[in-house]
Amino acid sequence: MSRLRKSQGDHRYYLLPGMGRSNRRHRRRVLLVAIFVGICGSALFGALLYWVHGR
């Protein structure tokens, strides 16, 4: 009887949306892509400013 209660208690909790492992991997990938795009965009903008004002 106690074994039955323990197994029911193990499944009592639930994860809220966004707390799963796959969502954390997805958010990490989105963050890394955003950082990469931000660095590339700022480098291109800096090169454009250098090209325009360097002449």
In this prediction, residue 41 has a pLDDT band, given cuts at 50, 70 and 90, of very high
In this prediction, residue 23 has a pLDDT band, given cuts at 50, 70 and 90, of confident
**What's the pLDDT at 55?**
65
Global pTM? 0.62
Mean pLDDT for the chain overall: 83
Listed in sequence order, the residues at least 6 apart from 17 whose beta carbon sits closer than 8 Å to its beta carbon are: 23
The model's pLDDT over 2-13, given as tens digits with 9 standing for 90+, comes to 555 555 555 566
**What's the pLDDT at 26?**
92
Single-letter amino acid code for the residue at 27? R
Q: Is 16 helix (H, G, I), strand (E, B) or coil?
A: coil
